[in-house]
Structure 1
Amino acid sequence: MFQQPSNMMEGQLHPLESESEIGRMRDDELDSTTKSGSENHEAASGDDQNPRPNKKKRYHRHTQHQIQEMEAFFKECPHPDDKQRKELGRELGLEPLQVKFWFQNKRTQMKTQHERHENTQLRTENEKLRADNMRYREALSTASCPNCGGPTAVGQMSFDEHHLRLENARLREEIDRISAIAAKYVGKPVVSYPLLSSPMTPRPFEFGAQPGTGDMYGAGDLLRSISSPSEADKPIIIELAVAAMEELVRMAQMGEPLWMTSLDGTTYVLNEEEYIRTFPRGIGPKPTGFKCEASRETAVVIMNHINLVEILMDVNQWSTVFSGIVSKASTLDVLSTGIAGNYNGALQVMATEFQVPSPLVPTRESYYVRYCKQHAEGTWAVVDVSLDNIRPSPTARCRRRPSGCLIQEMPNGYSKVTWVEHVEVDDSGVHSLYKQLVSTGHAFGAQRWIATLDRQCERLASVMATNVPTGDVGVITNQDGRKSMLKLAERMVMSFCAGVSASTAHTWTTLSGTGADDVRVMTRKSVDDPGRPPGIVLSAATSFWLPVSPKRVFDFLRDENSRSEWDILSNGGVVQEMAHIANGRDTGNCVSLLRVNV
């Protein structure tokens, strides 16, 4: 063995006795910084195996050159294999066993230093929370009424203390999340607190539930096979949702070079190369054969920001408001209901089937988590991100990258909404008639989501309106009559969308035609459908091009004077508008009650 001079720099201590002695020697080495990696006990020979109580232990000290070389190698490879240890020992004049113990003790030293650093950070954060708590308590104990100068009422103090406890609980959860991430590196168990469940504030309005919403009856193979996430999956889902929220907010606020203006200057186009550079983590590479669809749209809508958040986080209201886009929706699990009586921090695992009102465009099924967060006073964000990596499915044809909306409070009850849609999809099943509509984002993109939300906000404002002019002929002014009429119109829209889309709940059969002008029929059962008797519903649909603008077609169809030209039920009769309700800025946005005089 090699005898090293006693005045050399620090070396690494390595034991050759029992495991208990190894543990004791490591503790001594870790508690003293002057011994970290400086001493090395000489390897025992065959004669040394015989126990001799009075035998004096011999130690070696590594040279400064040996330590520097092993330190440099440790930075590149902290876990060398046998071949690397032998090669390193041969270069430095050390036995492989000496090299092995030096690396073992070095790794233990680094782990302990990392643990001490993490513990110091958590201890500092804990002290800060304690100081804030004491400061709040002192402020509450000395609080006085601004009107009379007397002590604050007991009820008011109890209310403030309640909110203080909720805030402290939120801070504890944030610290636990950070420490859980750190535990991956130091091997500590994750300690979780029970999620707070607070009753939601009462809503000033309710949208009707879409038939079939809340369950996945009749859904496709993908959605039927999905169940609630396991306990082991939940921490992964939470981390994925937090990362998705950060990505969504940045995508909603960033401009060029991430978002490029389209050639016509009306929309934004995502720069995919810049996206990969900006968000390298994501949810993995794009699947083979999938196409990227990304869009962003902004609008100011006539609805309070809190009400918007409530609609987005209530699956029944959300699927009703967006009934033209959502054919089926279900909440599989609620990981968090939020804190402080609202949806801040709410997490829901959902499954949804997205649609276009045409049998020529296949629906898109998605399994994802929805996360809601308040970023500042009056600023909220709701994000969706797919969970396909947790439960891969060979039938999945659509994957949602972080998508959702950023909601900002505006004066007079308005809200500014920035919507981002970012999906990867296999669109090979889309009919050629609809290829351009889908690729430009008008079918599933942010433009359609924003346009639908804007229209529904206008419709709701007309429902709540009380200053309806009474002088106009045919205008329904009675509040209950207006609500009933608009409720009926809402059911008609949902029934139409359910009866014309390519939902996996029903199968379309081609009867006649060639190519684009095929006539397709579909039958479905009507069960518990409000306003419709139980039985079998027969639907027929076809698609074709017209050499005129969409507005001209729309005006033609809504004009009661031209209805007899295309409506078989009005053929040969006179159509008269008996009453109407305006529910939007445009004159064409209205609900009409018609009578046919044959």
Structure 2
Amino acid sequence: MEGQGGDANRLMAGNFHQTNINSLRRNREEEEEEHESRSGGSDNIDGVSGDDFDAANNPPRKKRYHRHTPQQIQELESMFKECPHPDEKQRLELSKRLCLETRQVKFWFQNRRTQMKTQLERHENSLLRQANDKLRVENMSIREAMRNPMCSNCGGPAIINEISLEEQHLRIENARLKDELERVCTLASKFLGRPITSLPNSNSSLEFSFVGVNNNTLPSTLPLGQDFGMVSISPPSTIRATNSSNGFDRSIERSMLLELALAAMDELVKMAQTNEPLWIRSVEGGREILNHEEYKRTISTSCIGLKPNGFVSEASRENGVVIINSLALVETLMDSNRWSEMFPCVIARTSTNEVISNGINGTRNGALQLMQAELQVLSPLVPVRLVNFLRFCKQHAEGVWAVVDVSIDSITQTSPSFLSCRRLPSGCLVQDMPNGYSKVTWVEHAEYEESQVHQLYRPLLSLGMGFGAQRWVATLQRQCECLAILMSSALPSREQSAISSGGRRSMLKLAQRMTNNFCAGVCASTVHKWNKLNAGNVVEDVRVMTRKSVDDPGEPSGIVLSAATSVWIPSSPQKVFNFLRNERLRSEWDILSNGGPMQEMAHIAKGHDHGNCVSLLRASGINSSQSSMLILQETCTDVSGSLIVYAPVDIPAMHVVMNGGDSAYVALLPSGFAIMPDGHSDDSDNQRVNGSLLTVAFQILVNSLPTAKLTVESVETVNNLISCTVQKIKAALQCES
């Protein structure tokens, strides 16, 4: 007993000693927290974080405090508002700028986050105490009322225990379900643009019917009136985003996406319909420039959060009339395959990751889907923009539709370091016009990391001419005009009628595949698996890539080498385009011409402009002993830029194509040019002329064996080919200097 009593005494003494230590530790934590609150986060402990404490058995060590200067505190606070969790690179830059150690910066942010968390907890505790006091008062009043219950119908004394406990629970649950139903109906009304009656057959009481009511279910359908029929609404527990190929968090409810889509739609409509002072007309060129201050004050919904550090904004708006009705255009935009075919030079690849809503009654009104796209400018000096976005379609009136895109990176909590572009609410408003035409108002608004863009293309992108609304509308007009001409029974006067209608379709399909392969080889999109090379003899601005072509009937089998570069030329884009597409002048720059003239064997018009066409050229050598060859070429031009793509083709294969045969088995490797304005306006004071940004790209089969390895000679050959072609073009345009 004495031994047991001694052990008990020692145990109690140890517990008492440990209690004292814990009490001292808590007092010390409170003192440090109060000290941080008084100093506003301006003190920093050298070498010790706010979460570390000395061991209980060791004597406390005196900590050294450093008082930051007001300028340092201001910089730190400003950084904390933008990024409470800076990474190692940001902390290093901040420490160099403020003349602090990285550990001091790290611990300052730790202490500041702790202080912020403590303040929030105190505020929440205060609110909870107020709510608790309110509930206590209500509870006392209810208890007082229960002592003298009164009947609500007759006003007399009520009989105790006439309402069962189960019935009370059902009444409470029905009240909760009604509130939930009202919330869903309100959200659906915004989604559809029309009011929805939530309870058409219910009375004024809080209850539905007790029969068949389950605590975890909602009505499976909501009445929407005779115009819309019935739309299915899932219970809250099942409203989840499911397909998650792009990393989308499956636990996020679809209601969050719907609210994001509604906010983006409201912003798009305001951006499209509001003029000055939101959009200011530029004196030079008449472009519309977004007034960012007015945008932040009156339009911005901040639906995707603050702009990341190092990002710049680009915004543009364009109006145009196109030969397509609103329903056909909406169907094209909501189908990822048709969307990419309509804009082949802008979209490298696109896919629909999940369809959240197909629309109402077989229409696209209310269609909502998650999409992914790779957007491109045809130059190796401009990186491909990979965007994950939500696309929402809504009918605003008869013959008036709107389609809006908005990035979902803020919802998926993607780290800013992995983002190069964010798509703010962008899209188009479409209004029907007579004779199958439509008026389109296009808005493009994005934020991107400018440091990844070459200096040559920064003016072009900052004006919104690279990925902006002008390029989308111009491409849409050109493509719709091409479709109208191809569907017409009457051929253009300048087109040769020797080709049958089947041959025209087959030849256009082959040209489309050729152009798509060319674009994929310039920008290194994920259409093909390219491997970038870092060869020592290649100029820095020339991108050289390789890939293996195996089991593809549309390409020769072996090692394919792609090389592309972009240069500035002091000539207008139209002058450069007219020179390069002129078959009589082709021998001045093209080695495939064998130094002789080119003859156009076939011509298919794709627009009223002579530059929009598909041609079949025959190259004949100066000497009769040289063999002839055929070159398939597609040229297209609009106000946003021009494109010339060509590839040598086998003569027997082209005979099959021109007779309407399958073009999928014609092997070709395309080369060509992309021409865009340089983004600068005329300057009469400096006598500066408008220039062009010319992209030159070649794809060459360097070895017919897929197992072969690339040699240095092959890389040098294609590099010399690009350099020689650029020099010949400059010499022919008399702009070598």
Q: Same fold (TM over 0.5)?
A: yes
Amino acid at match of 1:273: E
Structure 1 position 589, deviation (Å):
1.4
CA distance in 2, matches of 1:550, 1:376: 41
Of stretches 382-391 and 524-533 in structure 1, the one that deviates more from structure 2 is: 524-533
Contact kept? 1:355, 1:502, Cα under 8 Å: no
**Paired residues for 1:54-93 under 5 Å:** 81=126
Alignment equivalent of 1:168, drawn from 229, 232, 245: 229
| CA displacement 1:129-158 (0-9 Å, x = unmatched) | 679xxxxxxxxxxxxxxxxxxxxxxxxxxx
Amino acid at match of 1:331: T
SS in 1 for 2:306: coil
**Paired residues for 1:556-567 under 5 Å:** 556-567=579-590
CA distance in 2, matches of 1:321, 1:352: 14
> How many corresponding residue pairs?
435
**Residue number in structure 1 paired with 2:391:** 370
Structure 1 position 388, deviation (Å):
0.6
SS in 2 for 1:444: coil
**Residue number in structure 2 paired with 1:424:** 447
Amino acid at match of 1:484: S
**Residue number in structure 1 paired with 2:570:** 547
Amino acid at match of 2:280: M
CA distance in 2, matches of 1:574, 1:457: 34
**Residue number in structure 1 paired with 2:276:** 256
SS in 2 for 1:542: strand
CA distance in 1, matches of 2:132, 2:238: 42
Amino acid at match of 2:515: V
CA distance in 1, matches of 2:127, 2:477: 67
Structure 1 position 493, deviation (Å):
1.2
Q: Closer, same or farther in 2 for the Cα pair 1:308/1:528, shift >3 Å?
A: farther
**Residue number in structure 2 paired with 1:490:** 512
Q: Closer, same or farther in 2 for the Cα pair 1:232/1:532, shift >3 Å?
A: same
Amino acid at match of 1:414: Y
**Residue number in structure 1 paired with 2:382:** 361
Greater RCO structure (CA 8 Å; 6+ sep): 1
**Residue number in structure 1 paired with 2:329:** 308
CA distance in 2, matches of 1:563, 1:538: 23
CA distance in 2, matches of 1:243, 1:340: 24
**Residue number in structure 2 paired with 1:521:** 544
Contact kept? 2:356, 2:369, Cα under 8 Å: yes
CA distance in 1, matches of 2:443, 2:473: 10
CA distance in 1, matches of 2:575, 2:410: 46
Amino acid at match of 1:491: R
Contact kept? 2:495, 2:604, Cα under 8 Å: no
CA distance in 2, matches of 1:302, 1:97: 65
Q: Closer, same or farther in 2 for the Cα pair 1:229/1:521, shift >3 Å?
A: same
Alignment equivalent of 2:351, drawn from 311, 320, 330: 330
Q: Closer, same or farther in 2 for the Cα pair 1:97/1:226, shift >3 Å?
A: closer
Structure 1 position 585, deviation (Å):
2.0
1:102 aligns with 2:137: yes
1:436 aligns with 2:481: no
Contact kept? 1:565, 1:571, Cα under 8 Å: no
Alignment equivalent of 2:558, drawn from 535, 538, 546: 535
1:282 aligns with 2:306: no
Q: Closer, same or farther in 2 for the Cα pair 1:584/1:248, shift >3 Å?
A: same
Structure 1 position 291, deviation (Å):
0.6
CA distance in 2, matches of 1:545, 1:492: 25
Percent identity reads 51
Amino acid at match of 2:429: L
CA distance in 2, matches of 1:281, 1:473: 52
CA distance in 1, matches of 2:545, 2:245: 25
CA distance in 2, matches of 1:535, 1:428: 36
Contact kept? 2:317, 2:443, Cα under 8 Å: yes
1:241 aligns with 2:261: yes
Contact kept? 2:245, 2:353, Cα under 8 Å: no
CA distance in 2, matches of 1:562, 1:251: 46
**Residue number in structure 2 paired with 1:126:** 197
**Residue number in structure 2 paired with 1:508:** 532
CA distance in 2, matches of 1:287, 1:192: 34
TM-score (norm 1): 0.65
**Residue number in structure 1 paired with 2:318:** 297
Alignment equivalent of 1:479, drawn from 501, 508, 511: 501
CA distance in 1, matches of 2:326, 2:488: 19
1:397 aligns with 2:397: no
Q: Closer, same or farther in 2 for the Cα pair 1:322/1:555, shift >3 Å?
A: same
Structure 1 position 559, deviation (Å):
0.5
CA distance in 2, matches of 1:272, 1:281: 13
Contact kept? 2:239, 2:254, Cα under 8 Å: no
Q: Closer, same or farther in 2 for the Cα pair 1:335/1:114, shift >3 Å?
A: closer
Structure 1 position 512, deviation (Å):
6.4
TM-score (norm 2): 0.53
**Residue number in structure 1 paired with 2:434:** 411
CA distance in 2, matches of 1:531, 1:425: 36
CA distance in 2, matches of 1:234, 1:347: 10
CA distance in 2, matches of 1:125, 1:540: 59
Amino acid at match of 2:338: Q
CA distance in 2, matches of 1:468, 1:83: 77
Contact kept? 1:512, 1:519, Cα under 8 Å: no
Structure 1 position 312, deviation (Å):
0.8
| CA displacement 1:466-524 (0-9 Å, x = unmatched) | 1115x7573456322221222122111111100111436534335467877x3331112
| CA displacement 1:94-136 (0-9 Å, x = unmatched) | xx997772377899xxx999999998997996389679xxxxx
| CA displacement 1:16-36 (0-9 Å, x = unmatched) | xxxxxxxxxxxxxxxxxxxxx
Q: Closer, same or farther in 2 for the Cα pair 1:327/1:118, shift >3 Å?
A: closer
